[in-house]
Amino acid sequence: MNTYILLLQCRDQKGIVARVSDFIFKSTGNIITLDQYSSDPQGGYFFMRVEFITENKTCNIGKLKEGLGRVARYFKARARLYEKGIPLSMGVLVSKPDHCLAEILYLYKRGELGVNIPFVISNFEGHGKLVKQHNVPFYFIPANKSNRREKEIISLTKGSVDFLALARYMLVLSPHFIKSFGNDIINIHHGFLPSFKGKNPYQQALNRGVKVIGATSHFVTAGLDTGAIIAQAVEVISHKDDLRALLLKGRNLEKRALSDALRAYIEHRVFRFKDKTVIF
């Protein structure tokens, strides 16, 4: 018995659920969960995530994709099909701050992050011991603002992982890197986007006297801190909190927002649409 996850998005129109359900039924499948959302029933966009099982051994993912392709063409839809239980591969890039890296490795070790981690790349050599304790290959590439060493990083990442997680990687990736890598890159920003972009967001928040701070996990694009938001975490603060207090609270928010975003992505619950996301 195999379990599959189907993601479909297109212009909203009649008959989508019926046609997809019929496709699954004719493929000897049984629907386990189905989530759907329409941005506007009158000409908006439709999003659907379906988990289904099939007991027919001859109905493999290749045949399912072929049949799904016909359904997608009919609705002019984008459709993706994944076999549940086959983990994605996630590369990790990180600089000196270690709290997000430690959280990822902890969840990975406990089996709470259903993903393979083929490597961790860092421009801080001190992370090597922690990473190797978790039996993950570690690569030290001493990148800095003057020499970002992107060719070396691309040579390790391109074609070897499904996506990248930036676990507080403190160098901005160039548009060339993003295009060359070609797959999704997920970042954690230590601020409540779209406010406080760029450097020192906690100092910016302190200067503005905000009453809530947050961290934001988002897709990386060529624009600085402008990619579609996947997850956010927030905490109420007061006038009694100084910069040190904000930094301490912020680290927990960063770990939570990043892990929530990674789980949603790994579990195939994320739809990208224009500058936003739909997450089931």
Catalytic residue annotation? 225
Q: What is the DSSP letter of 40?
A: -
Cα torsion 248, 250, 252, 258 to 10°: value is -150
Cβ proximity of 263 and 270 under 8 Å: no
Q: How many CB atoms lie within 10 A of CB 30?
A: 12
Cβ proximity of 276 and 12 under 8 Å: no
CA atoms within 13 A on the CB side of 188: 33
Angstrom distance (rounded) from CA 188 to CA 232: 9
